[in-house]
Amino acid sequence: MINGAHVIIHSRDEEADRAFFRDVLEWPNVDAGGGWLIFALPPAELAVHPTDGPGAHELYLMCDDVDATVRDLTARGVEFTRPVTAAGWGRVTAFRLPGGGEVHLYEPRHARATDR
């Protein structure tokens, strides 16, 4: 039986991105050896979206109040790459990781599988 998921973020600067998740987001972690940090994730959900060809996977972090979270993370030096916009399923923005990657942040406005 599957009992979890492991998300991988590819980075041009893995040390900076690991420090971001450890120090800025303050996610619990363990050192798997040699400074290779493995982070505990908050509760998660998965959606399958249509595509015409091979698609890249995306990471969306969820929060209860996107405006408050943007203010908090901006105060911690996080660079947001998109303004908060409304979509039918929630309010969304994105921020840059130190290694150059982009992560989305959204406040869901849809039913959540964890609400059942």
Confidence of residue 51 (pLDDT cuts 50, 70, 90): confident
Q: What is the mean pLDDT of residues 57-82?
A: 93
| The listed CATH number (3.40.50.2300, 3.90.1170.50, 3.10.180.10, 2.20.28.160) that belongs to domain 14-43+56-115 | 3.10.180.10
**What is the sign, positive or negative, of the torsion defined by CA atoms of 110, 47, 49, 65?**
positive
Distance from C-alpha of 68 to C-alpha of 62, rounded to nearest angstrom: 12
pLDDT of residue 22: 96
Domain coordinates in residue numbering, the chain? 14-43+56-115
